[in-house]
Every structure is written in structure tokens, then in C-alpha cells.
């Protein structure tokens, strides 16, 4: 049974609504008011009341959100038949389209409706788009944009996904981008080229039965939700609806819910005020808010269970300074800021932040104690911060929405070894890449000696490793015989591994049979094992879709996989969070979270302290540069005949920044630390919109007792 004893009256009202047949409830309030906890207990109450889990649909904003629901059900101990249907809109669409494939494939235009579809993950969609636009790039398409090919194909996929999630055809998407453009007329050709690439990609998917996210959503929306017969399956199957973070739902999801609500036996929709952080991915908080009119009851939950009045005051201060309503007082806002760190250089800022974390952890009372958030985590900032935390023996975990495989040194090293084992792939690694691979693969081999070994043993003509017999006695003495023996063992293993085995099998055996053994790794490396699993799964997805993508032999498959990663292939499956300092510890017990601000707001827990890194940077206010797209003009609320102006861009930036601050404040219980260096990494002075919005606190701020020894510096 659900644990209702510790719930607030509002939370209990949501849980008890499970017995009200035919009732739909719209619950709204800021983050931290206990709405999700109540929804978890409502799900438990439904199942405990005998409602079959088969007929309960719980829609979540992302797959990671399901963890809390599983935990609540586990505590209730409802037995083996209480497995709930927890999914996202995209997950539901994939499931239903796959189930009803024989009925929808032909009307949707697929060339082989009698054959099963091949689902493309985000990384595989990039591979296919890369193949589609290669001839276009060779003929000069997109020249003049100063964008890497990976950036081009990412924006092209964004266009496809946004069009589908907003319910637009590709033609409608093109015309919106063209008609709303307010810049130089010559730029319009790029929109035309982007639309041409989107159509080519879509046609290639239809011809090969490939289902990327955009096609899954498009088929679900047009051929199932809007089909009177097939939509009846959904209405009869899912009698009870639970929706968390409705503000993150795209327009097609809102339309799906509008069709489901009238016939549902019960429904609870949870709406976070000030949310909609996925607006870049077509989140439609405006339509989500309007959905309350379709519900029988509306319940407001305004009282935060996490943050206090000072946090709300700080959020309102920033909103006012960015053009929000006037006539408000903000004296309490100063109490929300417990420390200000602003040295001259970034490295000094990082050292002070790490030192502050050391002082905060012993006094904190929960496992999720500190969140360090930044508008972006560039390589230098991430490396310096994580190195500082590791050296201070502070466990941490990273939250990132997407990861580039090539940014992980171990991934680069193992793919270099794969290239050395398969010289017929003609993937020629550089001497630097070979040295990096040897340094990371061979235990007790430092960088200078790894470079020496690479110079002596890497054969540029055959793209393989020579036997260690080619080393001179002097070389062997400098390297040390134990290292020479391990290099020889590695070289022999690579030579013996040449064959037709799939790349995922090769990588798995490379780590398990050789690199993880005590000879190469005296101490167990938990993170290396996690990274290996991450890479092997990516290679396995690639291998399973290779034939459908036109790669019918292992040689071409290996070439394409390595080339895609070298070009910056991004995966929506985050890199392993486990760090060296966390060996043997559960991720939930780590005291520090390091995240980009959007990743934290979308999936991070409430914490006691937040550190706003680079608070003086303009990155808090900027929106991503996307010359081939515009997420805001593709929404159903934008007049397609009105041009997008600088004033619109300015207003959206302010609106988004105010929303970020509000979301952060609602997830912090004790205090916020503002951390920024006077000079950024390029040596330019930092005085961004967020820092200026906080300027009134200079005269109001008073350090709390816990930080009296370190007064603020403005």
C-alpha cells in the first residue's frame, strides 16, 4: 500500500483521486512542491486497488525519471504483477508503431511494409544523415556557414525532429524557416539545402524501413492518433493516465492527451510552473497549460517543500531585472546567496570551489548535497574541475544530456587499437593516437615512453604495429622489459584478432581478455569497464543496423564506425558517470553533482547547496547558434507570416534565463554560491546578463555564519 502518512494534504488528495472514476485532475505548481512524489504514490494506489498495470500509462519526460517510480513501487511490495508501463512519448510511439507496423507501414509510404522496421537511435540517425549529405557537401552545399560536418548533420536532424514533434510536414518546416528569416536574403539558400537534405534523409528511411525519431513520431501522430480505428486501440488499452512534467510535452503529445482524456477512467496531469526546458526540442508549455481546461479538476500546489522564501525572492529579482513585473521587494533575495567567489582567473575559481566543497560536505545532511552547474562544460573547465575534485577525494557524478564518444580518451585508444588490428580498413591512425593508445592500454607506461614506443613500432606504410624485436637494446632499457613484454603481448594479440568478427565482439574481447587482466591493469578499473560497456553497446547498435544502412561487410562497417566517431558522433546515451573516486560507491551516495544547467534541471535532484559556475559568463543568456534551424518559429504558437527579429531573440533569451534561475532556486534548500572569474578562458572580462541581474545584491548581501570566514567579493 502507498505510504500516505508523510504526505501533505494536497499530495493525499492526488493519491485518493485514484478512486474517483472518470475524474481527470490537473495539478500545477513550481518544482519542489511534491507533485511527482504524489504521482508516484497515486500509481502505487491504483495498482494496490487492483487496477491492472497493463491499463495504466505513465508518461515521463525522460527515461531516467522512471527510477523514482520503481523505487516507490518497490517499497509498496505489490508483488510481481505490478510492473508499470513507464515510458516517454517517444518510447510509447516506438512501441505502438512497431506493434501496429503491418497496418501503418504501407500508408506511411515505406517501400517494404511486409518486412520489419529497423529502429535508428540518435547516433545511428547521425550515421545515416552523414551518408545522405556527403554527396551534397562534396558539391558545395552549406559552404560559407563555417560549421563542421557534424554540426550540420546535427541541425538537420533537429529540423526533422522538431517538424515531427510540432506536427509539421517537411514542406511546412521549410516555408516557416524561409518566411520568418529576417537576415540577408542569400542565407535562404541554406534553408532550401537543409530542407533538401531532410527530404533525402526521409526518402532513404522510407526505402530501407528505417525508423528514426522523426519518422516514429510522424507515423504515430498521423497514422495512429489521427486514425479513428487505430486510436481506439490506445483508448481501450490505457484506461488510466498519469503524466509527469506536462510542460515538457511537445504539441503532438498534447494532441494525443486531448484525444485520450474524454474516455479515460482517471487521469492526473502534473505541470511544473516555469518549466519547459526542452523548448529547443519542441516542448510546448503553453499548450500544456491550456490542457487544464480539458480536465475536471484543477489543483494548485504553491508551497515548496524544498526551498524557502529567500530562494523565491532571488528568482523574482532576476526575473524583474530581465524585464519582468516591477513593484516587488527583494530584501530576502540576499539571504539565498551564501557565498560569492570571484577571483581573477578561472583556475583560481576552480580551486576555491573545490575547497568550498570540502568544507560543505561534512556539515551536509543528505547524499545529494552540492550541485555545481554551468551553462556549458567545455573541455578545460570539465577537466580542471573533475581533476580538482578527484585530487581532493570528493566523489562526484556528471550529468550530461548527450556525449561525444571521441571526447573519451579510452574510446579513442581502443578504436586506435582496432584500426591497428585491421590494417585493411585503411583507417590510418596518427603517431600521436598510437602513443595515446599505448599509454592508456599498457600499464606503467608513461607518455614520454609511449611516444618512444610509437615512433619505433608504428609502421606508417602498413598501419600496424611491428614486433618488439625492432626495438634496440637502448630502447628496451628506456622502456623497461616488463613494458616491452606487455607491448609484445598486445601486438601479438592484435595480429591474431584479424578476422571477420563484428567490431563489438572485438572490443569486448580486447578489454576482457587482455586489457583488464592483472598484467595490464594491476588494480581493477571500474570506470574503464563502464566505458568499455558504453562503447561496445554503441558498436553493437551500429552492427545490428549495418545491413539496413547499406554496410554489408565488417570492413566497411568498421571504417564507417571509426570515421563517424572521429567526426564527432554524439550519443544520447550519456557517458558513464562513474569516476575514479567512486570505485565501490553507489552513485546515489555521491555528494557532488557536476552538470550543465539544462541537464541538471531535467534530471538532477534537489540539493542543499548549488554552485553557479561561470556566473558572469554570457553563456547563461545565450541560445545555441543554429544557422539551419530555429526552434521557436516552428512552434504552433508562432505566426508563420511574421519574421523573427532581434527583439524576439532578446526577449526569448531573457525569458529562458529567468526560467533557469527559477528552476534552480526551486531545487535548492540552503544556499547558492556564485562562482565566476573576472576573466574568461580567452582573457576577456566577464559581466554577463545573469551577473548584472544579481547586481542589486551587492549592497544587500550578508554572509551567513557558516561562511563568515570567507566574505563575498563583488
- Least confident residue range of 264-273, 289-298, 425-434: 425-434
Task: Taking residues 22-43, report their average pLDDT.
Answer: 91
Distance, first Cα to last Cα, the chain: 53
Q: Report the run of H or E that residue 265 belongs to, with start and end.
A: none
- Least confident residue range of 145-149, 351-355, 581-585, 595-599: 581-585
Confidence label for 584 from pLDDT (cuts 50, 70 and 90): very low
Higher pLDDT: 366 or 279? It is 279
Q: Report the run of H or E that residue 4 belongs to, with start and end.
A: none
Task: Taking residues 210-217, report their average pLDDT.
Answer: 97
Position 266 scores a pLDDT of 93
Q: What are the grid coordinates assigned to 503, written together? A: 567490431
Phi–psi pair at 3, nearest 5 degrees = -90, 95
Position 703 scores a pLDDT of 42
Position 568 scores a pLDDT of 86
Confidence label for 687 from pLDDT (cuts 50, 70 and 90): confident
DSSP label of 53? G
For the chain, give the mean pLDDT.
88
Confidence label for 712 from pLDDT (cuts 50, 70 and 90): very low
pLDDT in tens, 607-635: 999 999 999 999 999 888 889 999 999 99
Position 578 scores a pLDDT of 47
**What residues contact 223, with CB distance under 8 A and at least 6 apart?**
104, 107, 108, 230
Position 41 scores a pLDDT of 92
User: Given the C-alpha cell 560543505, which residue does it identify?
Assistant: 360
Position 366 scores a pLDDT of 57
Position 408 scores a pLDDT of 87
pLDDT in tens, 412-458: 999 999 999 998 888 889 999 999 999 999 877 899 999 999 999 99
pLDDT above 50 (res 705): no
Separation of alpha carbons 165 and 283, rounded Å: 9
Task: Taking residues 667-674, report their average pLDDT.
Answer: 91
pLDDT above 50 (res 706): no
Confidence label for 704 from pLDDT (cuts 50, 70 and 90): very low
Alpha-helical (H) ranges within 547-645 are 554-566, 597-603
CA distances from 184 to 629, 641, 645 (A): 15, 17, 12
Confidence label for 299 from pLDDT (cuts 50, 70 and 90): very high
pLDDT in tens, 169-196: 999 999 999 999 999 999 999 999 999 9
pLDDT above 60 (res 404): yes
Residues in the chain: 714
Position 4 scores a pLDDT of 53
Q: What are the grid coordinates assigned to 516, written together? A: 583488464
Q: Report the run of H or E that residue 669 belongs to, with start and end.
A: strand 668-675
Position 81 scores a pLDDT of 57
Position 390 scores a pLDDT of 87
Phi–psi pair at 673, nearest 5 degrees = -110, 125
Q: What are the grid coordinates assigned to 42, written together? A: 497515486
Cβ proximity of 159 and 201 under 8 Å: no
Position 588 scores a pLDDT of 47
pLDDT above 60 (res 528): yes
Task: Taking residues 349-360, report their average pLDDT.
Answer: 90
- Give the strand pairing for 118-119 and 210-211: parallel
- Count each helix (H run) and each strand (E run) in the chain, helices first: 29, 18
Position 22 scores a pLDDT of 66
- Least confident residue range of 128-142, 261-275, 454-468, 673-687: 673-687
Position 661 scores a pLDDT of 93
Cβ proximity of 84 and 71 under 8 Å: no
Position 582 scores a pLDDT of 43
Residues forming a β-bridge with 85: 57
Separation of alpha carbons 404 and 391, rounded Å: 25
pLDDT above 50 (res 707): no
Separation of alpha carbons 212 and 200, rounded Å: 14
Position 77 scores a pLDDT of 74
pLDDT above 50 (res 714): no
Q: What are the grid coordinates assigned to 50, written together? A: 487492483
Q: Report the run of H or E that residue 646 belongs to, with start and end.
A: helix 646-665
Task: Taking residues 632-658, report their average pLDDT.
Answer: 94
Nearest to 103 by CA among 89, 114, 87: 114
Amino acid at each position: 500500500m502507498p505510504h500516505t502518512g508523510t504526505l501533505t494534504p494536497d499530495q493525499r488528495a492526488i493519491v485518493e483521486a485514484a478512486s474517483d472514476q472518470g475524474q481527470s485532475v490537473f495539478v500545477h505548481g513550481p518544482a519542489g512542491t511534491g507533485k511527482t512524489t504524489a504521482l508516484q504514490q497515486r500509481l502505487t494506489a491504483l495498482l494496490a486497488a487492483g487496477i491492472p498495470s497493463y491499463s495504466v500509462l505513465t508518461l515521463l519526460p525522460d527515461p531516467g525519471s522512471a527510477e523514482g517510480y520503481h523505487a516507490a513501487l518497490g517499497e509498496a511490495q505489490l508483488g510481481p504483477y505490478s510492473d508499470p508501463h513507464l515510458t516517454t512519448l517517444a518510447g510509447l510511439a516506438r512501441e505502438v508503431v512497431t506493434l501496429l507496423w503491418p497496418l501503418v507501414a504501407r500508408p506511411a509510404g515505406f517501400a517494404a511494409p511486409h518486412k520489419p522496421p529497423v529502429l535508428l537511435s540518435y547516433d545511428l540517425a547521425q550515421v545515416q544523415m552523414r551518408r545522405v549529405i556527403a554527396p551534397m557537401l562534396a558539391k558545395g552545399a552549406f559552404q560559407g556557414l563555417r560549421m563542421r560536418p557534424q554540426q550540420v548533420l546535427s541541425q538537420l536532424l533537429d529540423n526533422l525532429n522538431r517538424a515531427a514533434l510540432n506536427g509539421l510536414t517537411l514542406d511546412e518546416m521549410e516555408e516557416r524557416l524561409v518566411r520568418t528569416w529576417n537576415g540577408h536574403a542569400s542565407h535562404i539558400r541554406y534553408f532550401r539545402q537543409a530542407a533538401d537534405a531532410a527530404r533525402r534523409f526521409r526518402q532513404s528511411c522510407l526505402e530501407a524501413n528505417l525508423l528514426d525519431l522523426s519518422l516514429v513520431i510522424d507515423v504515430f501522430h498521423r497514422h495512429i492518433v489521427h486514425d479513428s480505428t487505430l486510436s481506439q486501440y490506445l483508448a481501450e488499452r490505457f484506461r488510466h493516465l498519469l503524466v509527469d512534467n506536462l510542460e515538457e510535452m511537445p504539441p503532438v503529445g498534447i494532441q494525443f492527451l486531448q484525444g485520450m482524456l474524454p474516455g479515460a477512467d482517471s487521469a492526473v496531469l502534473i505541470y511544473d510552473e516555469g518549466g519547459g526546458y526542452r523548448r529547443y526540442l519542441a516542448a510546448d508549455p503553453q499548450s500544456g497549460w491550456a490542457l487544464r481546461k480539458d480536465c475536471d479538476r484543477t489543483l494548485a500546489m504553491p508551497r515548496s517543500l524544498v526551498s524557502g522564501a529567500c530562494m523565491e525572492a532571488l528568482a523574482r529579482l532576476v526575473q524583474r531585472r530581465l524585464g519582468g513585473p516591477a513593484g516587488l521587494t527583494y530584501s530576502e533575495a540576499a539571504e539565498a546567496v551564501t557565498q560569492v567567489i570571484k577571483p581573477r582567473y578561472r583556475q583560481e575559481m576552480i580551486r576555491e570551489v573545490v575547497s568550498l566543497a570540502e568544507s560543505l560536505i561534512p556539515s551536509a545532511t543528505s547524499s545529494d548535497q552540492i550541485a555545481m552547474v554551468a551553462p556549458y562544460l567545455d573541455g578545460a573547465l570539465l577537466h580542471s574541475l573533475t581533476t580538482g575534485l578527484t585530487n581532493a577525494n570528493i566523489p562526484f557524478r556528471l550529468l550530461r544530456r548527450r556525449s561525444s564518444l571521441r571526447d573519451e580518451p579510452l574510446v579513442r585508444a581502443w578504436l586506435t587499437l582496432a584500426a591497428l588490428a585491421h590494417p585493411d580498413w585503411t583507417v590510418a591512425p596518427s603517431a600521436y593516437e598510437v602513443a595515446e593508445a599505448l599509454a592508456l592500454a599498457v600499464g606503467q607506461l608513461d607518455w614520454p615512453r609511449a611516444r618512444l614506443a610509437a615512433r619505433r613500432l608504428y609502421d606508417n606504410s602498413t598501419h600496424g604495429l611491428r614486433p618488439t624485436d625492432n626495438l634496440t637494446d637502448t630502447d628496451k632499457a628506456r622502456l623497461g622489459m616488463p613494458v616491452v613484454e606487455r607491448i609484445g603481448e598486445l601486438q601479438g594479440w592484435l595480429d591474431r584478432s584479424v578476422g571477420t568478427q563484428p567490431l563489438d565482439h572485438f572490443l569486448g574481447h580486447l578489454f576482457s581478455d587482455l586489457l583488464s587482466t592483472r598484467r595490464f591493469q594491476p588494480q581493477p578499473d571500474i570506470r574503464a569497464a563502464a566505458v568499455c560497456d558504453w562503447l561496445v553497446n554503441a558498436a553493437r547498435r551500429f552492427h545490428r543496423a549495418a545491413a539496413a544502412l547499406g554496410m554489408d561487410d565488417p570492413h566497411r562497417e568498421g571504417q564507417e564506425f571509426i570515421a563517424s566517431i572521429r567526426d564527432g558522433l554524439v550519443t544520447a546515451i550519456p557517458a558513464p558517470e562513474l569516476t575514479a573516486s567512486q570505485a565501490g560507491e553507489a552513485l546515489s551516495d555521491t555528494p557532488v553533482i557536476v552538470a550543465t544547467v539544462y541537464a541538471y534541471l531535467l534530471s538532477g535532484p534537489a540539493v542543499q547547496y548549488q554552485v553557479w559556475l561561470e556566473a558572469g559568463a554570457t553563456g547563461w543568456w545565450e541560445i545555441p547558434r543554429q544557422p539551419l534551424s530555429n526552434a521557436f518559429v516552428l512552434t504552433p504558437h508562432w505566426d508563420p507570416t511574421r519574421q523573427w527579429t532581434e527583439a524576439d531573440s532578446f526577449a526569448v533569451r531573457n525569458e529562458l534565463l529567468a526560467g533557469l534561475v527559477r528552476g534552480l532556486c526551486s531545487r535548492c534548500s540552503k544556499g547558492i554560491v556564485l562562482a565566476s572569474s573576472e576573466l574568461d578562458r580567452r582573457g576577456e572580462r566577464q559581466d554577463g546578463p545573469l551577473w548584472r541581474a544579481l547586481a542589486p545584491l551587492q549592497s544587500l548581501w550578508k554572509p551567513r555564519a557558516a561562511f563568515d570566514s570567507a566574505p563575498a567579493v563583488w
